[in-house]
């Protein structure tokens, strides 16, 4: 399959283009600015190589995803400030209630900020104990090329362009598929003050 092959998405992966209209995107962006004011973006390091991610991150919710020499994990406080993560904005909780098909609220929202050259390598989201819940993601700002494969590393992949206001739900048979961001397209959105892209991923971490 070519990287840009069209056609249906794998079962369990749902793409809702422009699920948030521009007004909703602006409201959510303000909520994320409030989060970042309390829990500053920082650049985590990979556990093995110690290299820094090109993406800057922070979190909101009871738990936040972090990565450092100790590995990947969820923890209740910001690794640099030691403060608890701020709460998840209401609009995100409402989206989860509407689209996740899962009876319990999310515990973690990872905030990823991509500047012009940033990318995210192919990975699986598997640091959560509860894999019955989907991962729900919201994109804000510049467009991005999202690559999606199967549950085995090295298998065929396809790409999906994600735009500001798009929502992606990855669950069921797609919960553990490999995925990543090949690149962003700077200047394709005017939502942010400058170039860049924000991606928010909502997760349930523990079993209810
Ligand atoms: C991104 N997204 O869009 C990275 N993971 O910047 C993810 O890694 C992701 O969008 C799980 C489910 C949905 C996602
Ligand atoms: Fe992911």
Residue closest by Cα to atom 14 of ligand 1: 137
Task: Identify the CATH class of 13-203.
Answer: mainly beta
First to last CA, the chain: 39
pLDDT at 51 (0 to 100): 96
Residue at token pair 């729900």: 136
- Is the distance from the beta carbon of residue 135 to the nearest atom of ligand 1 less than 6 Å? yes
HSE on the CB side for 113, CA within 13 Å?
18
The values of phi and psi at residue 205, to 5°, are: -105, -50
Q: Ligand 1: which atom is nearest the Cα of residue 162?
A: 3
Residue 136: the pLDDT is 98
| 118-140 per-residue burial string, b: 16 or more CB within 10 A, e: under 16 | bbbebeebeebeeeebbbbbbbb
199 ligand 1 Cβ < 6 A: yes
Determine the pLDDT at residue 7: 72
Of residues 38, 55, 58, 37, the one with CA closest to residue 46: 55
Distance 176 CA to ligand 1 centre (A): 12
pLDDT tens-place values along the chain, 208 residues long: 334 456 788 999 999 999 999 999 999 999 999 999 999 999 999 999 999 999 999 999 999 999 999 999 999 999 999 999 999 999 999 999 999 999 999 999 999 999 999 999 999 999 999 999 999 999 999 999 999 999 999 999 999 999 999 999 999 999 999 999 999 999 999 999 999 999 999 999 999 9
How far does residue 147's CA lie from ligand 2's centre (Å)? 11
Ligand 1 near 57 CB (within 6 A): no
Contact 197, 141 (CB under 8 A): yes
pLDDT value of residue 20? 98
27 CA to centre of ligand 2 in angstroms: 24
The confidence score (pLDDT) of residue 6 equals 62
Tell me how far apart the alpha carbons of residues 3 and 34 are, in angstroms, rounded to a whole number. Answer: 37
Widest Cα–Cα separation across the chain: 46
Q: Is the CB of 140 under 6 A from ligand 1?
A: no
Give the model's pLDDT for residue 2: 39
């Amino acid at each position: 399959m070519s990287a840009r092959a069209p056609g249906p998405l794998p079962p369990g992966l749902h793409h809702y283009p422009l699920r948030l209209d521009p007004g909703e995107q602006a409201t959510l962006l303000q909520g994320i600015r409030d989060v970042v004011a309390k829990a500053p973006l920082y650049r985590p390091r990979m556990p093995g190589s110690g290299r820094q991610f090109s993406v800057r991150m922070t979190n909101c919710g009871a738990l936040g995803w972090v990565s450092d020499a100790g590995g990947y994990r969820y923890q209740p406080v910001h690794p640099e400030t030691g403060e608890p993560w701020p709460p998840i904005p209401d609009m995100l909780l409402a989206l989860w209630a509407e689209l996740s098909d899962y009876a319990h609220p999310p515990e973690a929202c990872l905030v990823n900020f991509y500047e012009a050259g940033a990318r995210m390598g192919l990975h699986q989201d598997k640091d959560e104990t509860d894999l019955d819940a989907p991962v729900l993601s919201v994109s804000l700002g510049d467009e991005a090329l999202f690559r999606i494969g199967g549950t085995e590393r090295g298998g065929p992949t396809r790409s999906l362009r994600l735009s500001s206001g798009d929502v992606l739900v990855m669950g069921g048979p797609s919960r553990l598929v490999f995925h990543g961001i090949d690149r962003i397209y700077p200047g394709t959105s005017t939502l942010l003050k400058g170039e860049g892209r924000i991606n928010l991923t909502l997760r349930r971490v523990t079993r209810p």
